[in-house]
Structure 1
Amino acid sequence: MSKLENDTWILFYIKRSKLLKNGDAPIFVRITVNKVRAEFGLKKSVVPDLWNESKQRVKGKSTSAEDINAAIEKTIKKIEATTTYLSMQDVELTSELIKENIVGKKEDRRTILKIFKTHNENARKLIGIDFAEDTVERYETSFMHTKNFIKWQYKREDMPLDQINPHFISNYELYFKTVRNCSHNTTVKYLKNFKKIVRIALSNDWIKKDPFVNIKLILEPVDPVFLTNEELLTIINKKITIKRIEQVRDVFVFCCFTGLAFSDVKTLRSKHFSLENDVDTWINKKRTKTGQLSTVLVLDAAKRLLEKYKNHPDVTEKGMLLPVISNQKTNQYLKEIADICGIDKNISSHSARHTFATTVLLENDVPIEVVSKALGHSNIKITQHYARTTQKLIKRNMEKIKSLY
């Protein structure tokens, strides 16, 4: 056995127990790194008696012996070059990685992207059963980020599971925060998606150690963005001449008056509406995300928007009630809308839900228990994150006791 740098050993040997039909013994190569072995065949064979075990070469000077010995020398140089190259990369040097770079990876070898892709394909089949469409889309986005990261960081198309370690996770986190310029919370959400794929590998015993074992994925508390009544009216009354932006504005305003999340307004259908006393229209819809029932009285402002788009192609042809585009495009256009309305807030589709809870309901003295039911929350603690106690609300309540003191 000969030693290379980085505690890497090479051994050439024959398998006398697996002789070929002509009596030759196949020659194998064993690479050992940190006492972990990986083996592969040299695709050469020799008469067992002609093999020199101490020199790891074929005896004699026949054409066949020289050919095999030259193949051994060539393999040693290839392993040396591969070891040097991998040592310069930001990867953990393993015997399996060296072998993979020499002979190529086995098609049936488990890799992180293969498992990720299979998970996403199965999740897409379960849309409406165990998964919401938006959830599957988030996993598909996470898959692309993982693929791009592996290509950027490791110059590879995929990664074997035994190389998904804490160092990989640290590099992945750094990639999101620097290369992708993601916030801490966005980074955490992507890493949580990736962690689920790792858990699948762990539960199937495909990997032995959890790379997330000492990594805590904690979201930082963030004050939700919502519109004041004045800002909401500014957006409603703003004349917008570009149709696609006007439609995004109208869908956003509809959500401000109903509290529907983006995924819920996207899947809103006529079956979710009911009429009471031929006057009041209600939306009774299970939330796409949680399955909790939300019950909302449809205000006249929201009714007018439904009437406005009743002849839109998305409504007449697809069964939708409003022309809802993708969440990504919606958020992009909402930033434009905020700019043209002079609103210095980073509003998104989810800001409508916070606006509904705080500005539309809470500031108009709607009890938080009712707000919770309208939002489809399972408990009031969740609602308290949505419904903010504003200065306006504090002032109005303080006015009630001002004369007492």
Structure 2
Amino acid sequence: MQASYLARFFVLYQIFRNPLKYLKKPLYLQPRHFFNFTNNFTNTFIFRGFRILFGLYQTFIISSHIIVFTNVKKSATPPRNVSYTPINMMSFYYWFREGKTKDLGTIYCEIRVDGEKSVPISTKIKLNRKQWNPKEQCFQGKEAAKNQKLMDNHELRFSQIFNQIGFEKPNEPIRPVEILERHRVANGLVRKGKRVPSFIDVFKEFIKDQYLLVKAEKLKKQSVVSRESKFQTIRIYLVQKQLEQIAIDEIDHVFMEDFKFYLKISKYQESTIEKYLFLIKGIVKYAVSKGYTQDRKIESYKVEKAKEKDPVSLTQEEMDKVDALDLSDKHRKTFDIYRFCAETSLSFIDYNTLTEDDIVIDSDETVWIKLGRDKTDTRQRVPLNEKAMSIFKRYGSDIYLLPKLSNTKLNKYIKEIAKKAKINKYLTFHTSRKSFVDHSINELDIPESTIQAMVGWKDSRQLSRYARVKDSTIKKQFLK
């Protein structure tokens, strides 16, 4: 047995004589490797010599500015004009952790590399407190050899990972957390945290819930279709930016500003951009309500209100001019829809979802459209005037026979009609609703409160976005 320790002594002596020769590759040495033997040998002259020599070895290495078994932090500033190559030294520190039963427990380990420590990890070696020597970091008693073999296998696994990292990154420091992470991955021990769903997944679930509300008649289908359309635009952006898997809690101010810029260069109107940004904020709020994330940083993002522009609308004379044109079938249907909504203040969604329950005939045989608006959660009440009634009768006085086209086609065809009629205005289908408000306030002198009830607004603050009081109206009202 003493011959074996003399061989170890000779190896240690060679390292002491020329440490730089042996430190070209990463080492993982610690005192236990040199004096882990029976208690009967601990008091011998050779053992005491080993401890003294190992202490000298540590002192020499530290004085040579080589970080081995020290607590020098990585952030320590080295002397000037001295270049350092990371010399990664790994060691293990063990201790006994008592379990539920007194004096019975498990040996835990801490990996140390250049003074940096890992989190405690279990070696799964269970024993009695008396079977562990904390001072000498070794086992004792009858099962010492068996436990020592288990510990050697434990160290071997981490040593192999340590050497592999050292081979892959020869000039970089090795961190204990990286060793531990590779060990967990290799053994299928990666901790599975609560997965945060992607923005796309949350949006899809949001749409499903919206359709459930439609099924329960709490929401109109066209509202959900509009959001689905916006979802496709957002998805195209995410694909272009390679953000298909972006988590819902990663939607932040930077994302919002970048998406806003994308919409601007794609020539979207400011009012449309505003709707997109509010929709994204709504999706994040939905995710918080579902418990998918607790991150509320997006709540502080302020959506810039679209600058108010002069509302675009058609006058009665302009609409009569278009009505007199010889229009194709698709253009005639388009303008009939446009004119009907311009006379009744219906939005695209409200028009497309009209049912016979929304048509009411009072005691004077006046036909009314009375419906609840999802957008403002208010009632809209408007009687059909002569022009609206003529269009209604043209299609058999049946609400279900009124022509229906997609919003995209309506916007496209109404521009073609304006060009044919030589009307130099940027028209969309929504300008029909603005035409109603403009005509009501400037030509019919209807009070704001009445317009509010007919259009279905909660208040009259939106009036400035739909119409402007013309000079002729002011003159007529003031000088009458």
Q: TM-score, normalised by structure 2?
A: 0.58
Percent of paired sites with the same residue: 25
Report the Cα offset of residue 158 of structure 1. Answer: 1.7
The letter of the residue matching 1:116 is F
Contact 2:196 2:292 in 1 (8 A): no
Q: Give the corresponding residue for 2:443.
A: 363
Partner Cα distance (2:372, 2:91) in 1: 66
Report the Cα offset of residue 344 of structure 1. Answer: 1.7
Contact 1:115 1:197 in 2 (8 A): yes
Once the two structures are superposed, the pairs formed by residues 64-143 of structure 1 within 5 Å of their partners are 109-127=196-214, 129-143=217-231
1:325 aligns with 2:405: yes
Partner Cα distance (1:361, 1:106) in 2: 60
Q: Give the corresponding residue for 1:250.
A: 336
Report the Cα offset of residue 248 of structure 1. Answer: 1.0
Partner Cα distance (2:286, 2:169) in 1: 38
Distance 1:360 1:324, change over 3 A: farther
Contact 1:264 1:288 in 2 (8 A): no
Structure 1 SS opposite 2:400: coil
Partner Cα distance (1:141, 1:125) in 2: 18
The higher radius of gyration belongs to 2
Once the two structures are superposed, the pairs formed by residues 348-387 of structure 1 within 5 Å of their partners are 348-360=428-440, 362-383=442-463, 385-387=465-467
Contact 1:283 1:296 in 2 (8 A): yes
Distance 1:47 1:215, change over 3 A: same
Partner Cα distance (1:129, 1:162) in 2: 32
Structure 1 window deviating more from structure 2 (137-146 vs 198-207): it is: 198-207
Q: Give the corresponding residue for 1:388.
A: 468
Per-residue CA deviations over 1:217-252 (Å, capped at 9, x if unaligned) read 0212233221123222222222202x1221011010
Contact 1:169 1:211 in 2 (8 A): no
Report the Cα offset of residue 358 of structure 1. Answer: 1.8
Q: Give the corresponding residue for 2:318.
A: 231
Structure 1 SS opposite 2:360: strand
The letter of the residue matching 1:123 is Q
Structure 2 SS opposite 1:57: helix
Aligned residues: 324
Distance 1:161 1:347, change over 3 A: same
Report the Cα offset of residue 326 of structure 1. Answer: 1.5
Per-residue CA deviations over 1:350-380 (Å, capped at 9, x if unaligned) read 2111211221564123333322222122333
The letter of the residue matching 1:57 is S
Residue of structure 1 aligned with 2:358, choices 242, 261, 272? 272
Q: Give the corresponding residue for 1:215.
A: 301
Contact 2:440 2:451 in 1 (8 A): no
Distance 1:302 1:76, change over 3 A: farther
Partner Cα distance (1:162, 1:361) in 2: 46
Task: For structure 1, list consecutive stretches of 5 or more residues without a partner in the other structure.
Answer: 4-11, 18-36, 38-45, 59-67, 78-94, 401-405
Distance 1:152 1:385, change over 3 A: closer
The letter of the residue matching 1:118 is E
Per-residue CA deviations over 1:301-343 (Å, capped at 9, x if unaligned) read 11111122229xxx6xxx6241121222211211111111111
Partner Cα distance (2:416, 2:193) in 1: 50
Over aligned residues, Cα RMSD in angstroms?
A: 3.9
1:172 aligns with 2:274: no
Per-residue CA deviations over 1:39-93 (Å, capped at 9, x if unaligned) read xxxxxxx97523548x9432xxxxxxxxx7897689979xxxxxxxxxxxxxxxx
1:240 aligns with 2:320: no
Q: TM-score, normalised by structure 1?
A: 0.68
Report the Cα offset of residue 212 of structure 1. Answer: 2.4
Structure 2 SS opposite 1:296: strand
Structure 1 window deviating more from structure 2 (340-349 vs 368-377): it is: 368-377
Q: Give the corresponding residue for 1:84.
A: none
Per-residue CA deviations over 1:16-44 (Å, capped at 9, x if unaligned) read 99xxxxxxxxxxxxxxxxxxx9xxxxxxx
Partner Cα distance (1:270, 1:367) in 2: 29
Q: Give the corresponding residue for 2:240.
A: 152
Partner Cα distance (1:288, 1:129) in 2: 11
Report the Cα offset of residue 267 of structure 1. Answer: 1.7
